[in-house]
Amino acid sequence: MKHTVSYIILLSFILIFSNSASANDSQLSEMEIQDSSDWEILVIDQSTSLPNGNETFSDGDYVRISVQVSNTGNQEINGSWKLKLFSEGVWHPLAGQNETWGANENQLSEMTLGPLIEGVMKLKFEISLENSTSNISETMEITVSPNPILFTSAGDAIIAITGEPAYIGDILTASILVGNGGDSEGSVMLTLYDIDSMILFSGEPVLITPGSSREISVDFNFSSYGEKWFQWKINSDLGGVSPDLSGNHTITILPQQDVRVGLSSSDWSVSNGLSIDYWISLSDGPERNVQVSISEFESGISKELQKFTITLSQGVRQLNIQITDPSPGLDRIEISVDPLSWHSKQIPDLDIQLISPQPIIEISSCVQSPEVLEFSDTLIITCTISNTGNSDSLPGHVSLSRVSDGYIFSDSGLSMIQVNVGEEKPISLTVPNWQDEGTTALQVKFSSAISASSGSIAVQANQRPSDGFEIPFDPTAALLGAVSGLVLMMILLAFWRVATERTPDTEKKNLDSTSRIEKRRERDNIEASCPTCSQRLSIPGDHVGRVRCPACSNSFEVGVRKEIKIGSDPPAIERRNRK
């Protein structure tokens, strides 16, 4: 029967409890392996891992093999065991395990093997001890019968590998086209077994109906570089897989590509915000996708600013972060790069420590010109403005004001001033027609959106020159006051004359409506008419002589008395010139 290199799946679960012990060739004689005829080999159901009761082995079956190993010596022995398959003249390791055998102890070694391949399989169980080049072993042969269901290659009986050239950690895909030549449907999967690392890769089961073909594949990768030799096989729970659907394959794995991240420059100013230039490099090889995450930290609290995916080619790629209005409390920026669907060496995050920009504006060395300031002269104040901080200032205004009341004499207006880091320059402010005498305290102030600074100077000015005799008041104000007073007096005089030139009504009123005061007045006063203007005048009843008419200034006589007769009517006064 034709033999090919078979693909074996090994699942071994063994608990190891050991203490270190030295071994030598003499201890090997104290080790015994159970005779192969006494090994326990059970056919198991792959879905339940329990024995299925079959006593014969068929193509595609899985078996559990138990071998007893005994230490007949009085010392603990350290070593290892391996199960090997003989194929094409070479013993190929299928499974292995480090072991510690206690003194005078029997220990059972178990392993699961499958799927079996139709034909005769020659197995060897081998024990090696530490610090010894010798070993002991037992061999056995098992016969595997064919299965009624037959899966065969629908094309070339070799697997195709996609994803080369491959680097450490790269995902590769192995595939092969499989046909079902039997009478019933069945599921198959492709498995790969890395001999060196003893790692098994299994694809997803694929259902194939009778007379049809399907592509069967599995994804795999390697964690080390170099030439890799692995076994592949199409497996089916029902068996019946053609021996052609198994074999060996060799692939070369290259050292993993390296991705790095670094800082080119960073600049944080109050005028332009925060700008960070950084780079990401990729070593020789194909293009790679990476995810870049950028976070900011303030008082220990992180906040993600950006997350994006980029494709890197070998070489260096320059990138930039621009934050127009960063928080003044920003401590640092962290940039991390993560490979997507591939592996790289550990990539340290780029940690960028930040110092908040702070322009420190100082105004000093203020002087006046001219040194001897006369009244109405033009005053020029010149100061030195400097920036001793760590950032350029924002554009700002410069003003000159009086300290006592804040009156602003001069302002830079639309002419904005910006002071760069380490810069020192003069500024001048002009006040035409100076009007203050003596000593005046002035303040020179710089103001921007985020900072302010000031300097001071005391200006000395001579007294205003004398122009001869000066009245101690404003003549214009005095003239206006005099005119206003004269007009007021004339108005009051007019009212007084109107009030004094009026004469009471002397017509006799009804006695019933005359008040007591008016009755008394009638008894005490008499009425007379001015012979010139006929103005009616009220004259005391006992007045005899001349009176002057207030209306026309004419004078005339009144009060000529007549004899009074006793017993007759009450005396009466002759009223002359009465109408």
The segment with the largest mean pLDDT, out of 186-200, 464-478, 492-506, is 186-200
CB of 476 closer than 8 Å to CB of 470: no
| Domain range summary for the chain, segments of one domain joined by + | 9-145, 151-254, 259-353, 361-461, 506-579
* Tokens, residue 111: 């392993």
The count of other CB atoms within 10 Å of the CB of residue 84 is 20
Q: What is the pLDDT of residues 55-68, one digit of tens each?
A: 778 777 889 999 99
| pLDDT higher than threshold 50 for residue 575 | no
pLDDT value, residue 16: 31
Are residues 366 and 455 in contact, defined by beta-carbon separation less than 8 angstroms? Answer: yes
Q: For the residues 199-226, what does the mean pLDDT come to? A: 92
Question: Is residue 466 very low, low, confident or very high in pLDDT (cuts 50, 70, 90)?
Answer: low
CA Rg, the chain, in Å?
63
First CA to last CA across the chain, in angstroms? Answer: 182
CA distance 233 to 18: 36
- Cis, bond preceding 205 (omega within 30 deg of 0): no
Could you tell me how many residues make up the chain?
A: 579
Tell me, what's the pLDDT at 21? 36
Mean pLDDT of all residues belonging to the chain = 82
In sequence order, what are the beta bridge partners of 373? 461
| Banded pLDDT at 518 (limits 50, 70, 90) | low
pLDDT above 60 (res 568): no
The answer, yes or no, to whether the previous bond of 93 is cis (omega within 30 of 0) is: no
Residues near 92 by Cβ (< 8 Å), separated by ≥ 6? Answer: 5, 84, 85, 86, 195, 231
* CA gap 45, 49 in Å, rounded: 5
> With contact defined as beta carbons under 8 Å apart, do 11 and 112 qualify?
yes
The answer regarding whether domain 259-353 maps to CATH 2.60.40.10 reads yes
Residue 255 has pLDDT above 50, yes or no: yes
Q: CATH number for 9-145: choose from 3.30.2270.10, 3.40.50.300, 2.60.40.3880, 2.120.10.80.
A: 2.60.40.3880
The pLDDT of residue 564 is above 60: no
Please give the C-alpha separations between residue 155 and each of 178, 179, 230, 463, in angstroms, as whole numbers. Answer: 8, 9, 21, 117
Of the two residues 524 and 107, the one the predictor is more confident about is: 107
Distance from the Cα of residue 234 to its chain's centroid: 53
- 197: helix, coil or strand? coil
Q: Does residue 521 carry a pLDDT above 70?
A: no
Where do we find the tokens 């790969």? 192
Q: Is 104 left (phi over 0), alpha (psi -120 to 50) or beta?
A: left
Q: Is the pLDDT of residue 517 over 70?
A: no
The pLDDT of residue 13 is above 80? no
| Single-letter amino acid code for the residue at 403 | V
Instruction: Name every residue whose Cβ is closer than 8 Å to that of residue 99 and which is 6 or more positions away in sequence.
Output: 14, 16, 18, 69, 78, 79, 80, 81, 107, 109
| pTM for the structure as a whole | 0.46
DSSP string, 37-104: GG-EEEEEETTTTEE----SEETT-EEEEEEEEEE-SSS-EEEEEEEEEEETTEEEEEEEEEEEE-TT
pLDDT for the residue 55: 78
> Lowest mean pLDDT: which of 340-349, 385-394, 395-404?
340-349
* Domain 361-461, second-level architecture: Sandwich (2.60)
Q: How far is CA 309 from the centre of its chain?
A: 19
Q: What kind and span of H or E run contains 23?
A: none
Per-residue model confidence (pLDDT) at position 169: 84
Q: Give me the mean pLDDT over the 87-92 stretch.
A: 88
pLDDT tens-place string over residues 355-373: 888 889 999 999 999 888 8
One of 2.60.40.10, 3.50.50.60, 3.20.20.70, 1.20.58.1690 is the CATH number of 151-254, namely 2.60.40.10
Of 31-40, 121-130, 343-352, 465-474, where does mean pLDDT reach its minimum? 465-474
3-state secondary structure 509-564: CCHHHCCHHHHHHHHHEEEEECCCCCCEEEEECCCCEEEECCCCCCEEEECCCCCC
List 187's β-bridge partners, or say none.
207
Residue 432 has pLDDT above 50, yes or no: yes
151-254 and 361-461 have identical folds: yes
According to the model, what pLDDT value does residue 2 have? 37
